């Protein structure tokens, strides 16, 4: 029977590599189609590599703890010609060259495309034990283009930049490094001394997720970001939540209110590309979930078209999957905004940073009892007040528009039964 390679698949649109964490089969094992054979860790989640078809695993190349680029061979499978044809690994013998060319874009072959990567598209794998040192250029953006390396306003000579590239560093890594050159310029000598001092310090390897978060925040900070704050009374939300048997999280109330507000004016969640504002095609909103050594942002699609009750179960499921770092593919990828609730940590003020591909992030702060003037009773009444903080791309929004958006979210939350 013919042998076929099992390669590292493209498990996410921005994935460039993954680290093998567990090998679920051995050489000589008989497997079925779509059987999990490797558990791998990307910078966003734990995911599985499956078999393209049924057969016998003839060889396992991958090693636990080693990172492999997309397209790298992990194992070999011995399969019958019939199974291989069904999986798209082989073309039928009677198929002509013209038919083969036309079928290259057919649904059957596309379904197994990540198991049949052309050699010209293969990325060389790192040798076992190699460490990942360059966090910047490996992940494509939403548009499929490589992100532009971060350039600071401080002048760095070509020789200096070349040395930094050798070590996988960028200008953000040199923040706070005083320069001895003209005008405070950082010289190569300053840099080498800096590196020597670092080598003498205690260091630990940053996790792939931490590197991904750092890279995302650097790219976000290349835009002019601004933040506005509006106090929101939460008593109605908490009373409504208490009246329900299945109680939605406070974050979900805010997500639903934000989705409605954005659906009323999609331009505020648009992206400035050239001299045009590109409006979103759908109100897909993510929410931050703390995971080991980082944060994951699962996305719920079409939030404006679903009621609060319809959102509760998928929301709770995604929280659990995110904490396990096993998000489903349809819950990853870009949304148009993110909700982050830092209230449980007692935080009353913060400046959240939107993701590079998003214009907005809404932060929910811890609630505090505050005296609010009640004109009906002519007295101050204690109310639970939370600061809602919106950070945004100032090229798209100004303070007034951002404030009106937050005010609208607050208004919607005063009638939670209608969410």
Q: Give tens-digit pLDDT for 368-411.
A: 999 999 988 899 999 999 999 999 999 999 999 999 999 999 99
- pLDDT, residue 342, reads 95
Mean pLDDT, the chain, whole residue set: 82
- pLDDT, residue 337, reads 95
Once rounded to an integer, what is the mean pLDDT over residues 60-68?
90
CA-nearest of 138, 121, 125 to 20 is 125
The DSSP call for residue 55 is: E
What whole-number distance in Å separates Cα of residue 400 and Cα of residue 95? 63
Q: Give every strand in the sheet of 17-23, ordered side by side.
A: 46-50, 36-41, 17-23, 67-69
* Class of domain 223-418 as given by CATH: alpha beta
pLDDT above 60: residue 191: yes
Q: Among 14-28, 121-135, 157-171, 316-330, where is mean pLDDT lowest?
A: 121-135
**Confidence tier at 314 by pLDDT (50, 70, 90):** very high
Beta-sheet pairing, 17-23 with 36-41: antiparallel
| Boundaries of every domain in the chain | 3-121, 133-203, 223-418
Contacts 24+ apart (CB under 8 A), 400-404: 401/268, 402/226, 402/228, 402/268, 403/228, 403/230
- pLDDT, residue 140, reads 41
Assigned CATH for 3-121: 2.40.50.100
pLDDT above 80: residue 123: no
Once rounded to an integer, what is the mean pLDDT over residues 1-6?
85
Q: DSSP states of 15-49 as a string?
A: --EEEEEEE---TT-EE-TT-EEEEEE-SS-EEEE
Whether the Cβ atoms of residue 364 and residue 254 lie closer than 8 Å to each other: yes
**Confidence tier at 282 by pLDDT (50, 70, 90):** very high
């Amino acid at each position: 029977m013919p042998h076929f390679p099992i390669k590292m698949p493209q498990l996410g649109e921005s994935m460039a590599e993954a680290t093998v964490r567990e090998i679920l089969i051995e050489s000589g094992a008989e497997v079925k189609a779509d059987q999990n054979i490797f558990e791998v860790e990307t910078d966003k989640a734990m995911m599985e590599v499956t078999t393209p078809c049924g057969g016998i695993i003839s060889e396992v190349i991958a090693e636990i703890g080693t990172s492999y680029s997309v397209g790298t061979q992990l194992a070999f499978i011995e399969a019958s010609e019939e199974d291989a044809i069904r999986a798209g690994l082989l073309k039928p013998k009677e198929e002509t060259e013209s038919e083969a060319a036309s079928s290259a874009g057919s649904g059957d072959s596309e379904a197994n495309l990540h198991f049949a990567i052309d050699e010209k598209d293969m990325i060389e794998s790192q040798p076992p034990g190699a460490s990942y040192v360059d966090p910047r250029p490996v992940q494509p953006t939403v548009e499929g283009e490589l992100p532009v390396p971060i350039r600071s306003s401080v002048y760095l000579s070509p020789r200096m930049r070349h040395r930094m590239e050798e070590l996988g560093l960028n200008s953000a890594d040199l923040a706070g490094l005083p320069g001895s050159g003209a005008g405070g310029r950082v010289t190569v000598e300053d840099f080498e001394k800096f590196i020597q001092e670092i080598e003498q310090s205690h260091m630990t390897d940053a996790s792939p997720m931490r590197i991904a978060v750092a890279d995302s925040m650097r790219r976000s900070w290349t835009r002019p970001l601004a933040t506005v704050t509006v106090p929101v009374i939460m008593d109605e939300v908490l009373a409504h939540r208490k009246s329900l048997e299945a109680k939605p999280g406070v974050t979900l109330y805010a997500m639903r209110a934000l989705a409605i507000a954005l659906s009323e004016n999609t331009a505020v969640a648009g992206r400035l590309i050239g001299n045009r504002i590109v409006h979103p095609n759908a109100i897909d909103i993510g929410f931050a979930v703390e995971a080991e050594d980082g944060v994951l942002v699962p996305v719920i699609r079409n939030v404006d078209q679903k009621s609060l009750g319809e959102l509760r179960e998928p929301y709770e499921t995604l929280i659990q999957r995110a904490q396990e770092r096993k998000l489903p593919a349809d819950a990853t990828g870009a949304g148009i905004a993110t909700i982050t609730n830092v209230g449980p940590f007692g935080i009353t003020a913060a400046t959240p940073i939107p993701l590079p591909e998003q214009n907005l992030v809404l932060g929910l702060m811890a609630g505090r009892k505050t005296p609010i003037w009640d004109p009906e009773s002519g007295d101050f009444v204690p109310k639970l007040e939370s600061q809602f903080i919106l950070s945004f791309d100032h090229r798209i929004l100004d303070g007034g528009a951002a404030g009106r958006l937050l005010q609208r979210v607050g208004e919607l939350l005063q009638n939670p039964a209608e969410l």
